Amino acid sequence: MPSVLALRLLTREKLLAHNEDAAKVLDACPDHEWRLIFSLARFGGLRTPSETQKLRWSDVDWERGRLLVHSPKTEHHEGKETRWIPLFPELREHLDAAFDTPADGSDFVIKRYRDGDQNLRTHMLRIIKRAGLKAWPKLFQNLRSTRETELAEIYPLHVVTAWLGNSQLMAAKHYLQVTDAHFEKAAQKAAQQPAAVPRNETHLGNEGFRFANTCQSLRDTAIRTVAEAGIEPARPFRDPGF
């Protein structure tokens, strides 16, 4: 199994190799801006369109490798108006490409589709169809969910939720996914563990059984003593309701 460090150092090509659908969608995007829209949701975990449309080039900290995300959904909570995310390599390359295209004087990263009449979902469906894929439910939310699941495999959950702008409870309830890789990893670990040796007389021997029986007798005596006298001063028993 790869180490945590190895996972962090995966290149874009390796990441896309593990997600052929993402690569197909990127190839089917008509231009830099659509590749960036998709990448911001899939690799940046941004809420689309709300957070994507608010993104400005002045929010990109190229030197520190960070991106400032403005969140309309959480801005009414103190300290949740914005959050920083890393410029993940697979995201940065599309930011670089979009930044190098001719500018129109606007500071907004996504210059088109800012009109309320523009429907990103409709355009996204066309791109998915062009990629030869079947559309998945909740187009942009599921991209964000997939990214959060990937990051949770590598980083502590409190770090991931800070980047994605949700709580650990919300992530566990609505975003984190159980994947085939989880089952495969668990099965590999189970196969690597030695089979449990039955605790029989052949294994323990007579001396071992006498010792085990003595220990059990002492445990039973201790339990009865605590039950009768209690560790703390005696008080009426109350059902904790668990």
- What band does 10 get if pLDDT is binned at 50, 70 and 90? very low
Cα-flanking dihedrals φ and ψ of residue 178, to 5°?
-95, 120
CB contact at 8 A, 56 and 108: yes
Three-state SS for 212? Answer: helix
pLDDT single digits (tens) 211-242 = 555 555 555 555 454 444 443 444 443 433 33
pLDDT single digits (tens) 34-57 = 999 999 999 999 999 999 999 999
The 60-61 sheet, strands edge to edge: 60-61, 66-70, 82-86
Span 66-75, mean pLDDT?
Answer: 91
pLDDT single digits (tens) 191-216 = 666 555 454 444 445 555 555 555 55
Q: What percentage of residues in the chain have a pLDDT greater than 90?
A: 36
The overall average pLDDT reported for the chain is 74
Give the separation between CA 12 and CA 60, rounded to whole angstroms.
Answer: 20
* CATH placement of domain 4-179: 1.10.443.10
Give the separation between CA 183 and CA 10, rounded to whole angstroms.
Answer: 22
CATH 1.10.443.10 positions along the chain are: 4-179
pLDDT single digits (tens) 112-156 = 877 655 688 999 999 999 999 999 989 998 898 889 888 988 888
CB contact at 8 A, 184 and 215: no
DSSP 58: G
Q: What is the pTM of this model?
A: 0.64
